[in-house]
Amino acid sequence: MKQTRYEQVANKIVTLIQNGALQEGDKIPSIRQLSRELGLSVNTIKEAYWRLEDKNYIAAVPQSGFYVKKQSVLGWDSTDKADAAQSRMLNPQEVNFCQVYAAFKEYGESQSKVNLGIAGLDSEFWPTEKMARFMGEAVRQPDVEALNYLMPPGYLPLRQQIARQGLAAGLNLSPEEIIVTNGCHEAVFLSLMALCKPGDTVVFESPIYFSLFHMLKQLDLRVIEIPSHDGEGISLKTLEFVLESQEVKAMYTISNFNNPMGFSMPSWKKKKLVRLLAGYDIPLIEDDVYGDIAFKDRPDTCKGQDKSGRVLYCSSFSKTIAPGLRIGWIAPGKAYDKILEIKTLMNICATSIEQIAVARFLKEGGYDRHLRRLRKKVGQAVRQMRQAVLAHFPKGTRVTDPDGGFLLWVELPHDVDTTLVYRQAMKKNILIAPGPLFTLKGKFSHCMRLNAGMWNPDIEKAVAMTGQLCQAQVPKQRDFPVCPTPQFQPPPDPRGEGRPAAFG
Amino acid sequence: MKQTRYEQVANKIVTLIQNGALQEGDKIPSIRQLSRELGLSVNTIKEAYWRLEDKNYIAAVPQSGFYVKKQSVLGWDSTDKADAAQSRMLNPQEVNFCQVYAAFKEYGESQSKVNLGIAGLDSEFWPTEKMARFMGEAVRQPDVEALNYLMPPGYLPLRQQIARQGLAAGLNLSPEEIIVTNGCHEAVFLSLMALCKPGDTVVFESPIYFSLFHMLKQLDLRVIEIPSHDGEGISLKTLEFVLESQEVKAMYTISNFNNPMGFSMPSWKKKKLVRLLAGYDIPLIEDDVYGDIAFKDRPDTCKGQDKSGRVLYCSSFSKTIAPGLRIGWIAPGKAYDKILEIKTLMNICATSIEQIAVARFLKEGGYDRHLRRLRKKVGQAVRQMRQAVLAHFPKGTRVTDPDGGFLLWVELPHDVDTTLVYRQAMKKNILIAPGPLFTLKGKFSHCMRLNAGMWNPDIEKAVAMTGQLCQAQVPKQRDFPVCPTPQFQPPPDPRGEGRPAAFG
């Protein structure tokens, strides 16, 4: 499709940003200046800058001019059809997997030595000794039949502890609002089962955790992907357009330290989102499984903003204690009765030993201390992984800098096809998660997600090897696309080392 | 609806049998004799006897006459519309719960002191010490990350042990055919999800384990209940009629020590059933969760007869080790890939500690010895419960005499409304499972299921109390319905004590 003039201008600037030629904080030419330089009307440049602003590439500073904003790593660029008014992308679609998924699944089942494709922590970080002790005690403790059913909503002392922990996230839950599940995954699946019937439409930010697609497909649901912007999550403008024009049954979001993009939705946006959805009477499935792994302040939640019971808050101890426990929970608001019913008919209840042991660990086992230490260790692993990516990946690569969680979203130069990298890496016994896994739109082909929840020499080597595979796809003499006039050449690479730029 | 003459005759004889007036082995009048006595045509009596034979109330002994057969306890009597050719009952219907269920559920959630309404064993029977040891070891064992995911299909040593155990049931499974689940319940739910789409029809023997209705309702499936006959399970004749006339997507059966009726489908019938279903290309979900609790020989399975991969065999350790472990499994035949996929997307995997600990217990913990002892203890509890029912319940009560499992199906005189008994018992802190819970047809109103998996003085008192509540509903001077001629009076009660008859 032919681009309009203002689209051409906007795209050139985006390319400079994506190349690393224009960096965060750089001033770009004023509207008048660029209008003169390119011989285009002021209105055309204005339109282009407006688009760039809307997409959060640049920001206007009053009395000063336009500056490149701190960038999140996006596959959605300014040529996307994401603009609500013109978009055909925003119709509901069936879930049809890209071929790469089939291969990814196959590989996931094999025993990969270096798995950068999962979302998990080093087992060294787990409180194994503690859990062994509490589990042993749980089996023997006289006051609870630890081998009997602990029926939904679940072991009361555990729900009490979950409610207490929630305070740190700004949640004010009572144990009576909480249902214990077999992990957060099941909590989300239960939510979808409770809220939707086959053929219904679910919306969420894109890119998104790929397992969601499997649940949606199994339940025969349709989806609308809505672009995420600038480290703040879903575009509310686009969401509103969709809610206005389509019949939507539920929204799903990973609100904090998002998988795969790492952002936490800011507080004001959570508030706005909850209000917006309430206006359309649409429930929100909030997946906050990463929220407790905060390197600085523990971010708040959408649930905390919810007064109408429309938020189904899902989380688990899979990231903060250990995944094999399969202990998660849901605070489903108005959907409580329905979720309780489905949980029971699905598999009766969560295992008892784990419910009792986790409750004990939270109450008297120094869980808070464990969490503080864990955050520190994870933060360190993430920093190391990030440095390795910056060191080994091609120039022009951008990588997120999350304030929590342990997932890095990497955006490579557009030459790089991460599906190809993924296949080549597989042969070297390395698993990565290529960008196209996180969408049904065939996008993010130059992106990948890396698991930074563990760090050791093998992983470092694997990152370096992955970087080499990417590098091999970048043309030796890159011709940077430049603006048509010499006045607006890309500035020289400040580090001059062919290293990728680090974006926040 | 007006009864035909032969229906009237058949019903009278059924009433005599149900009253205990005619007992197992009693000879009934010959066709000619009754024809003379009632002044009805030989053909009418023939038709009546044919119906009674078909319903397995009586059997013809060549050169001798007709005798009352060993009775299973049925709610399906000869006036039922179960006769394939005439039945409107055999159309698919939506799942709509009877009101009693709502109350039952509510009570189930409260802490009932004496629970005769569940299907569970005394926790004294569980190998608690052993499991405590193996769980403790599992958490500490160095060669498996016991707190990590043990992804589907599940821990290989566990699947190996399950395959080995299967040999006793005539199964010849390889570990590669088995997927570990969170209990048998989940295995059945997974099967229904894998095989059916909303609106599809599932058939099963009636009465049936009531939780099935909840799964079917959640998945928006329709049902056809097919009568069970004479301690042998589903009527194959009726099933065939249904398969011929309706589009059926799957069948569900509890093949051994059935819940609630206690029967085990005989080997020949399993074979016939599997062949019949294969002819219509219909998968069978076989729930064999009670099969290992055999007092005599361990019965075989439908899966063992299956050559085409159409049987999805589901079981668990909830009855043989402990329910709180939530360790079950499925051997899904041709549906393997689909089940594996749904299990993963639903809640990723079963808990690791339990998978490892159960595998160890089976391999080196003396599980077989435990099972032998368990069978003996359960058999004893069942006998005691059964004797108590015979001692305390009204005359005319019949109770099953299962060869395994721990559920008793009790059929009371038709005067007794077990839903009323259930409500009265609730006030005395006793839970029973009234018959109407086990069907959508509003039947079995004079039946109840009792849990005989535990026995102690409190339970004995509860059984006696329940018997009194039933007794209070039986008119003091019962006028036995009799045949219109004096020649065919009910024989005197052989024990003359007003005690109920014990049927096998």
For residue A383, give Cα distances in angstroms to A290, A453, B191. 17, 10, 45
User: Looking at the partner chain, which of B135, B136, B183 has a beta carbon nearest the beta carbon of A348?
Assistant: B183
Contact assessment for residue B301 and residue B268, using Cβ atoms and an 8 Å cutoff: no
- To the nearest whole Å, the CA of B132 is away from the closest chain A CA by 5
Do the chains contact at B348 and A214, CB–CB below 8 Å? no
Contact assessment for residue B66 and residue B28, using Cβ atoms and an 8 Å cutoff: yes
For helices B352-364 and A352-364, the axis angle rounded to 10 degrees is 130
- To the nearest whole Å, the CA of B213 is away from the closest chain A CA by 9
Q: Which residues of A touch B193 (CB under 8 A)?
A: 218
* Distance between CA atoms of residues A244 and A238, nearest Å: 10
Nearest CA to B287 out of B217, B187, B373, B354 is that of B187
pLDDT of residue A73: 46
Q: Which residues of B touch A131 (CB under 8 A)?
A: 139, 147
pLDDT of residue B496: 38
User: Looking at the partner chain, which of B135, B215, B342 has a beta carbon nearest the beta carbon of A345?
Assistant: B215
Question: Mean per-residue pLDDT for B3-12?
Answer: 85
User: Looking at the partner chain, which of B150, B181, B321 has a beta carbon nearest the beta carbon of A324?
Assistant: B150
- Among chain B residues, CA nearest to A105: B341
Nearest CA to B492 out of B10, B11, B75, B22 is that of B22
For residue B404, pLDDT beyond 80: yes
Tokens 């909303």 belong to: B198
Question: Mean per-residue pLDDT for B470-476?
Answer: 92
pLDDT of residue B477: 59
Q: Which residues of A touch B349 (CB under 8 A)?
A: 324, 326
Do the chains contact at A326 and B347, CB–CB below 8 Å? yes
* Distance between CA atoms of residues B11 and A111, nearest Å: 66
Tens of pLDDT along B190-210?
Answer: 999 999 999 999 999 999 999
* Three-state SS at B353: helix
pLDDT of residue A86: 39
- Predicted TM-score (pTM) of this structure: 0.82
Q: Which residues of B touch A347 (CB under 8 A)?
A: 181-183, 185-186, 189, 326, 347
For residue B102, pLDDT beyond 70: no
B interface test, pick of A95, A182, A209, A358 with most B CB neighbours within 10 Å: A182
For residue B312, pLDDT beyond 90: yes
For residue B176, pLDDT beyond 80: yes
Do the chains contact at B346 and A128, CB–CB below 8 Å? no
* Distance between CA atoms of residues A72 and A233, nearest Å: 10
Q: Which residues lie below 8 Å from residue B438, measured CB to CB, with a gap of 6+?
A: B206, B207, B208, B209, B210, B260, B444, B447, B449
Q: Which residues lie below 8 Å from residue A2, measured CB to CB, with a gap of 6+?
A: none
* Three-state SS at B370: helix
Long-range contacts of B212-217 (CB under 8 A, 24+ apart): B212/B188, B212/B252, B213/B95, B213/B97, B213/B440, B214/A341, B214/A344, B214/A345, B215/A345, B215/A346, B215/B188, B215/B189, B216/B95, B216/B192, B217/B95, B217/B97
- Among chain A residues, CA nearest to B182: A347
* Distance between CA atoms of residues B76 and B65, nearest Å: 25
- To the nearest whole Å, the CA of B6 is away from the closest chain A CA by 44
Q: Which residues of A touch B347 (CB under 8 A)?
A: 181-183, 185-186, 189, 326, 347
For residue B280, give Cα distances in angstroms to A213, B200, B240, B317. 33, 15, 9, 32
∠ CA B40-B44-B48, nearest 5°, is 120
* Distance between CA atoms of residues B193 and B87, nearest Å: 29
User: Looking at the partner chain, which of A128, A132, A147 has a beta carbon nearest the beta carbon of B324?
Assistant: A147
A interface test, pick of B185, B339, B344, B353 with most A CB neighbours within 10 Å: B353
Q: Could you read off the pLDDT tens digit of each residue along chain A, which spans 504 residues?
A: 567 888 889 888 887 877 667 877 788 888 888 999 888 998 899 888 888 887 778 888 777 888 888 665 444 443 343 444 335 567 888 888 766 666 666 655 556 678 899 899 998 999 988 888 898 888 877 666 789 999 999 999 999 999 999 999 999 999 999 999 999 999 999 999 999 999 999 999 999 999 999 999 999 999 999 988 757 899 998 999 899 999 999 999 999 999 999 999 999 999 999 999 999 999 999 999 999 999 999 999 999 999 999 999 999 999 999 999 999 999 999 999 999 999 999 999 999 999 999 999 999 989 999 999 999 999 999 999 999 999 999 999 999 999 999 999 999 999 999 999 999 998 899 999 999 999 988 889 999 999 999 999 999 999 999 999 999 999 875 444 433 333 433 334 434 344 444 443
- Among chain A residues, CA nearest to B218: A342
* Distance between CA atoms of residues A39 and A45, nearest Å: 10
Do the chains contact at B148 and A323, CB–CB below 8 Å? yes
pLDDT of residue B133: 87
Q: Which residues of A touch B135 (CB under 8 A)?
A: 135-136, 139, 353
pLDDT of residue B79: 37
Do the chains contact at B353 and A352, CB–CB below 8 Å? no
Question: Mean per-residue pLDDT for B254-273?
Answer: 95
Q: Which residues of B touch A321 (CB under 8 A)?
A: 147
CB neighbours (10 Å) of residue A357?
Answer: 31
Q: Which residues pair with A411 in a beta bridge?
A: A398, A447
For residue B376, pLDDT beyond 90: yes
For residue A167, give Cα distances in angstroms to A69, A273, A314, A363, B393. 33, 21, 15, 14, 55
Nearest CA to A306 out of A230, A238, A353, A253 is that of A253
* Exposed / middle / buried, residue B111 (Cβ in 10 Å: 0-12, 13-18, 19+): exposed
Q: Which residues lie below 8 Å from residue A143, measured CB to CB, with a gap of 6+?
A: none
Do the chains contact at B193 and A349, CB–CB below 8 Å? no
For residue B71, pLDDT beyond 70: no
pLDDT of residue A143: 64
- To the nearest whole Å, the CA of A28 is away from the closest chain B CA by 47
Q: Which residues of B touch A345 (CB under 8 A)?
A: 185, 189, 211, 214-215, 218
Q: Which residues of B touch A198 (CB under 8 A)?
A: 197-198
Tens of pLDDT along A50-104?
Answer: 888 877 788 887 778 888 886 654 444 433 434 443 355 678 888 887 666 666 6
A interface test, pick of B101, B106, B147, B219 with most A CB neighbours within 10 Å: B147
For residue B82, pLDDT beyond 70: no
Task: Tell me which DSSP letter residue A503 carries.
Answer: -
Q: Which residues of B touch A181 (CB under 8 A)?
A: 347
Phi and psi at A222, nearest 5°, equal -105, 160
* Distance between CA atoms of residues B423 and B427, nearest Å: 7
Phi and psi at A212, nearest 5°, equal -55, -40
User: Looking at the partner chain, which of B132, B186, B351 has a beta carbon nearest the beta carbon of A351?
Assistant: B351
For residue A123, give Cα distances in angstroms to A322, A323, A386, B471. 8, 10, 20, 62
Question: Mean per-residue pLDDT for B412-434?
Answer: 92
Do the chains contact at A346 and B346, CB–CB below 8 Å? yes
* Three-state SS at B502: coil
* Distance between CA atoms of residues B374 and B228, nearest Å: 29
CB neighbours (10 Å) of residue B59?
Answer: 13
Q: Which residues of B touch A324 (CB under 8 A)?
A: 145-150, 349, 351-353
- Among chain A residues, CA nearest to B342: A218
Do the chains contact at A185 and B346, CB–CB below 8 Å? yes
User: Looking at the partner chain, which of B151, B215, B322 has a beta carbon nearest the beta carbon of A147?
Assistant: B322
For residue B150, pLDDT beyond 70: yes
Contact assessment for residue A482 and residue A378, using Cβ atoms and an 8 Å cutoff: no
Do the chains contact at B348 and A183, CB–CB below 8 Å? yes
Roughly how many angstroms between the first and final C-alpha of chain B, as a whole number? 33
Q: Which residues lie below 8 Å from residue A345, measured CB to CB, with a gap of 6+?
A: B185, B189, B211, B214, B215, B218
- To the nearest whole Å, the CA of A111 is away from the closest chain B CA by 11
For residue A332, give Cα distances in angstroms to A168, A286, A336, B172, B187. 19, 10, 5, 44, 25
When computed from its CA atoms, the radius of gyration of chain B, rounded to whole angstroms, is: 24
HSE of B348, CA atoms in CB hemisphere, 13 A: 25
User: Looking at the partner chain, which of B123, B150, B342 has a beta carbon nearest the beta carbon of A145?
Assistant: B123
Q: Which residues of A touch B326 (CB under 8 A)?
A: 347-351
Do the chains contact at A148 and B123, CB–CB below 8 Å? yes
Q: Worst-scoring range by mean pLDDT, A65-79, B25-39, B237-251?
A: A65-79
Q: Which residues of A touch B194 (CB under 8 A)?
A: none
Contact assessment for residue B226 and residue B234, using Cβ atoms and an 8 Å cutoff: yes
Q: Which residues lie below 8 Å from residue A38, measured CB to CB, with a gap of 6+?
A: A9, A45, A483, A484, A485, A488
User: Looking at the partner chain, which of A109, A148, A193 has a beta carbon nearest the beta carbon of B323?
Assistant: A148
* Distance between CA atoms of residues A445 and A270, nearest Å: 29
Nearest CA to B105 out of B434, B493, B391, B471 is that of B434
HSE of A285, CA atoms in CB hemisphere, 13 A: 24
- Cis before B475? omega within 30: no
Nearest CA to B295 out of B248, B257, B246 is that of B257
* Three-state SS at B241: helix
* Three-state SS at B394: coil
* Distance between CA atoms of residues A19 and A365, nearest Å: 49
Tokens 């004010």 belong to: A172
Do the chains contact at B197 and A198, CB–CB below 8 Å? yes
Contact assessment for residue B195 and residue B283, using Cβ atoms and an 8 Å cutoff: yes
Task: Tell me which DSSP letter residue A403 carries.
Answer: S
Q: Specify the length of chain B in residues.
A: 504
Task: Give the highest mean pLDDT range of B223-237, B430-444, B461-475.
Answer: B461-475
Contact assessment for residue A150 and residue B324, using Cβ atoms and an 8 Å cutoff: yes
Do the chains contact at B341 and A193, CB–CB below 8 Å? no
Instruction: Quickly list H helices, A196-248.
Output: 211-218, 236-245
pLDDT of residue B389: 97
pLDDT of residue B482: 40
Instruction: Quickly list H helices, B146-234.
Output: 156-166, 183-195, 211-218
Do the chains contact at A185 and B123, CB–CB below 8 Å? no
Roughly how many angstroms between the first and final C-alpha of chain A, as a whole number? 33
DSSP codes joined into one string, A28-73: E--HHHHHHHHT--HHHHHHHHHHHHHTTSEEEETTTEEEEPPPP-
Count helices and strands in chain A by DSSP H and E runs: 15, 16
